[in-house]
Structure formats: C-alpha cells, structure tokens
Structure 1
Amino acid sequence: MPGRLPTAEDFPPNITASIVPAPSNHPPTNILVLLHGLGDTNASFTSLGRQLNLPETACISLQAPKPLPFGLGGSLWGDEIIFDEKTGEIDLDSGCRDSTRMVLDHIIRNILIEKCGYKPRNIMLFGLGQGGMVGLNVAVEMGMEELAGVVSIGGPLPSHAALAPIDKKFKTPVILCKGNKDSKVSPADVQRIKDTFAATEIQEWKKTGDGMPTNREEMLPIMQLFARRLLSMRGIPEGSVEFS
C-alpha cells in the first residue's frame, strides 16, 4: 500500500518545505526529496517538482536551514560558512552534519516513515551542489538501509562522511552528474563515491561547471534512474521533462 501524502501540519515550524502532490491525484507510492543548491531557496525546486510530473510520486522541496550572511538572501546546508581563499566563494564542503540530521531524522524517519508509512526503498533524494552533498551523506548515514536512490548534481561526498565497511558497500544507487570543465567534483571525489556505493553512475556533461541539466541528453540518465527505481503501476516516462 502507498503511504499517505505528507501535509504542512506534519512538519515542525522550523523547517520550510513545499509539497507537490503526485499528478492526477494518484496515491503517492514514492517521495522525491528535493534539496536546492547553496544560496538558493526551496522555491526553484518546488517548480522543478511540478515540471518533473512523475507518476505516483510526490515531491517535497526542502529549504536549507541556515540563511546566508550579510542579507544576501538564500540559504545554505553547511554547518558553517567558509570562504575559499583563492576564489572568495563559499566553500561547498563546510560540513553538513546538522542538515543531514534534519533530513534524515525529521523528514525521512519521523515524517515519511513513521507518520506517513513509507519505506526507505520508496524515498529518493535529488540535490544540487551542497544539496547533493547532503543527499549523499543521508544515504551514507542510512547504512545498509536502501533508499530508492540519490541524484547529485555537482555535489561530492562531504569530507566528514563515514566510510563504507571494507567488505560491503552501501546499497543505495547513486548518480553523480558533473561538467567536464571547472567542476567542483575532483577525480578523487568520484573515486570516493565509487568506493562507498555499490551502484554508482558518473555522468560527465560536455559543459563548464556543474549547473542543472539543460537539455534532454543531460536529463536522460536521471530519468532512466527514476524509471528503474521509482515504483509505479503506470511506469515513469524517460522523456517527460520539457526544456525551453
């Protein structure tokens, strides 16, 4: 039996979340948790959830818990704010223990599993940059409990993430997408993910940086993961996202 759709009343007042129901009022067999990038809010990924329009899949777009300083607007998933001395930009890898606990304990365990009746296998995470790092770290903290999957766009494992047991990698399948130029994801980051998860797919896009997919070719591997791992009587269409 599918779980029930979460409601605003399920969430504590200190967590900002938007809920996008499954299309056509179908029971939500799956939950896709959306984690925006550093300096953004959950509004953009709420729109993404509507655009994806995945059958029997409700989307929860979460907002990072800490606001950017200096009135810049937006928020971040990091435990602290660390500036890169070379670029002056905020360092993605500034710890995400607090955000991991928020997503894992409050959202996945307390709300989705205990209150709404979902199993970990019915829950997938999709994150951009620092949000992707949180998604991967949540999968690590789940240990041998298998999620539907994690999609990380330009977000490596945080440096503080626990290592997989020597004789057994974590079961949650992962797809990491990155640009082939000026990526924040190093070859060492890629190897660390491969060493941590049993099923890892690396998509290197022919573009500069690690931004969101902008065409069908870039989006196709992600939609194929949705089709393989999200449970649906109707099936997940691999080419359902429109790009302008």
Structure 2
Amino acid sequence: MSRIPEPSDFPGDMVITIIAPRKDGPVENILILLHGLGDSHSPFAALGKNFNFPETTCLAVRAPTMLPFNPNGFHWGDDLIFDSSTGGLDMEADFTSAHKLMKTIIDDTLVGKCGWKRRAIFLLGLGQGGMLALDLASRLPPSEEFGGVVSLGGPLPNTAPSPHPKAKTPVMVMGAEKNSEVTEGVEARVNEVFEFVEIVKWRGRTGDGVMKNQEEAMPMMRFMARRLRSRAGIPAGAVELS
C-alpha cells in the first residue's frame, strides 16, 4: 500500500512543498512540479494549488543550486552556461546534482519508503525543469514508466540517451507558436527518444511559459485525464488560471 509522503520523509536539506488534494479521500497519483531556471518552488506550489486533479498530491521541488547573483533564484544544473546569442542563461546544463536529488525523492522516498509505483508518478516542468523531467523519463529502464511528463517550453537535453526500444513514458511538450524553445529539431529529438509524444503549440502566442488560460491548458487536461488513476475523473475547470 502506498501512502502520502510527509515532510519528515525527505532529507532535511531538501525544500519541498506538499500540496494535498482539495477533497478528502484516497490518493492515487503524485504530481511532481519542477520550476524553471532562476525561479523557486514557491510559484509552482501556488500553481499546484490551482490544479484540481482528483486523488492527486502535488510536490513542488526547489532546485538544488542557487544562482550566484540572485539568492531567490535556483537552477537544476551543476554549471551555468551563458547564451551569447541572447545574453541570457542557457537551459542546457550538467544535471548530475539534480539527478541525485530526484533519485532521493522518487526512488528512495516515494517508491522505496512510501510504496508508490512509478506509473502513478507524474512530472510537470517549466523550461529547465521540463528538460530535467524529460531527461529523467528517458533514463528509466525499458520495463518502467512514469504516469506521464509534461514539459512547458523545455526541450530534451543534448545529453539525454536514445534508448532502444524507445522510452515508454508518454510525454507532452507544450510551447508558443512564435519564439519558442520547442523547435522542429526539438520535436524530432523527442519523437526519436519516446514512444508516445504529443506536441502542443499555443496559437497566437509569443514566448513559452505557463498556460495562461483554459484554452492553453485544455490539451494538458486531456493528457492527464487519460493517464491519471482516478475513480472520479477530471472535473471541468481542473486547472484554475487567472
């Protein structure tokens, strides 16, 4: 039998917010929320509270590395790479520390200590957090799969493997119609690695990010409805966006 994790289940140096379902009852799913580069877990914890997925507990995880010039910003890589074309930070990085963190969260705690199956664990990440989510799913053994991965504007890292057979975890990659990290090359790479892929481009939108309205959220809701283990089903308006 699986149980909902408690803060004491995780090592004391980890920063994780646990968001319980709105309704009392059995919990059948765990959704792990991974923020973007330069952000923290707090905004994603607020996003998790806006989700009304049935029988699902959300975990908003803070990345392990603090930005050197922003004490309130964190990133998932062991290094920082500056993009000369934009003058900003490149999402591509060495994810060694993040892999260790997520192994402790997923393998040691959720699976090992709390009794969850990986099929009941979902990941949703923004930008660099989406890259990490896809990377984790690509590295599972051939017989294993997560319930699903949703990446918001996060491509598959260049260092991700190309497993044969393809990785079983169904994935959805969402991005803007214009000025998006989800390019044709990214789409081809994701389809090369994963067996079940959905690509969503938000029409009329410039720049990736979190869904801004119900129309942009609808594909994710359908994806989750197909994969979540639930006796009740996903209600209308399962994602509340202002």
If the length of structure 2 is used for normalisation, what is the TM-score? Answer: 0.96
Letter in 2 for 1:186: T
Of 201, 222, 225, 2:223 maps to 225
Shift of 1:34: 0.3
Counterpart of 1:121, as a letter, is: R
Aligned residues: 240
Aligned to 1:121: 119
- CA offset at residue 142 of structure 1? 1.2
1:169 equivalenced with 2:163 (yes/no): no
- Secondary structure, aligned partner of 1:107: helix
The amino acid of 1:92's aligned partner reads M
Runs of 4+ in 1 over 4 A off after TM superposition: none
Match of 1:102 in 2: 101
What displacement does 1:169 show? Answer: 1.0
Letter of the aligned partner of 2:135 in structure 1?
Answer: N
Contact kept? 2:34, 2:126, Cα under 8 Å: yes
| In 2: Cα distance, 1:25 partner to 1:89 partner | 44
- The letter for the 2-side match of 1:224 is R
Pairwise CA RMSD: 1.2
1:72 Cα shift?
Answer: 5.1
Give unpaired runs (5+ residues) of structure 2: none
Amino acid of the structure 2 residue aligned with 1:109: D
Structure 1 stretches of 5 or more lacking a match? Answer: none
User: Per the alignment, in what secondary structure is the counterpart of residue 23 of structure 1?
Assistant: coil
Shift of 1:86: 1.8
Indicate whether 1:190 and 2:198 are aligned.
Answer: no
Which residue number corresponds to residue 28 of structure 2? 29
Identity %, equivalent residues: 44
Aligned residue type for 1:200: V
Note the 1:34-183 alignment, pairs <5 A: 34-71=33-70, 73-103=72-102, 105-144=103-142, 145-165=144-164, 168-183=165-180
Check 1:124–1:238 CA distance in 2 against 1; reply closer, same or farther (3 A cut): farther
Residues 147 and 172 in structure 1, CA contact (< 8 A), matched pair in contact too: yes
Distance 2:122 2:70 in 1: 32
Greater strand share, structure number: 2
Distance in 1 between the 2:126 and 2:70 partners?
Answer: 22
Distance 1:39 1:71, change over 3 A: closer
CA separation in 2, counterparts of 1:136 and 1:71? Answer: 26
Query: Is 1:224–1:238's contact at 8 Å kept on the other side of the alignment?
Result: no
TM-score, with length taken from structure 1: 0.95
Q: Secondary structure at the match of 1:205?
A: strand
Between stretches 71-80 and 154-163, larger displacement belongs to 71-80
Which residue number corresponds to residue 238 of structure 2?
A: 240
- CA change 1:217–1:228 in 2 (3 A) is same
Deviation at 1:54, TM superposition (A): 1.4
Is the 1:17–1:63 contact (alpha carbons within 8 Å) kept by the matching residues of 2? Answer: yes
Provide, for residues 53-98 of structure 1, a one-character-per-residue CA deviation record: whole Å limited to 9, x for no partner: 2111000000000001123521001120111112110100122232
